[in-house]
């Protein structure tokens, strides 16, 4: 798979439309991805802490994002690469993701837990 390859027909292009919590104690996070055609994809089974970090990032409060994400951002900036695409797919009982970066060099990180 090349980064600039055309979108595959069995994938939907989607953006985060909502971030929240499944439970009243904010232990489990919930994310809704919405495609351009209105189709929604719900993701859960990740920590409430991750949901808070996603919300902070969307609100451009990046100083509250954990160090590992800041480190990845700095590595990308110093190597002049940007994240251009994320593909999320089912793998058994879990969701996995491929991360696509481009810039000086194209990089694809495959099979990470989504």
When pLDDT is averaged across residues 89-95 and rounded to a whole number, the result is 81
pLDDT, one tens digit per residue, over 1-26 is 566 667 777 777 888 999 999 999 99
Whether 8 is covered by a domain: the verdict is no
- What is the dihedral angle through the alpha carbons of 74, 75, 81, 85, rounded to the nearest 10 degrees? -90
Whether 5 is covered by a domain: the verdict is no
Q: How many domains does the chain have?
A: 1
Whether 9 is covered by a domain: the verdict is no
pLDDT, one tens digit per residue, over 33-64 is 998 889 898 888 788 888 888 888 888 887 77
pLDDT, one tens digit per residue, over 56-77 is 888 888 777 677 777 888 899 9
Whether 3 is covered by a domain: the verdict is no
Whether 2 is covered by a domain: the verdict is no
Whether 19 is covered by a domain: the verdict is yes
Whether 108 is covered by a domain: the verdict is yes
pTM for the model stands at 0.64
Identify the pLDDT of residue 114.
66
Cα angle 50-51-52, degrees, rounded to a multiple of 5: 90
Enclosing domain of residue 102: 14-113
Identify the pLDDT of residue 96.
86
């Amino acid at each position: 798979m090349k980064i600039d390859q055309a979108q595959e027909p069995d994938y939907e292009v989607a953006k985060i439309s909502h971030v929240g919590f499944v439970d009243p104690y904010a232990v489990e996070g919930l994310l809704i991805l919405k495609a351009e055609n209105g189709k929604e994809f719900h993701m859960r089974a990740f920590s409430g802490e991750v949901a808070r970090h996603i919300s902070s990032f969307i609100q451009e409060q990046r100083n509250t994002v954990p160090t590992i994400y800041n480190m990845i951002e700095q590595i990308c900036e110093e190597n002049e690469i940007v994240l251009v695409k994320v593909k999320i797919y089912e793998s058994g009982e879990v969701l996995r993701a491929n991360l696509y970066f481009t810039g000086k060099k194209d990089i694809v990180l495959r099979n990470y837990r989504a």
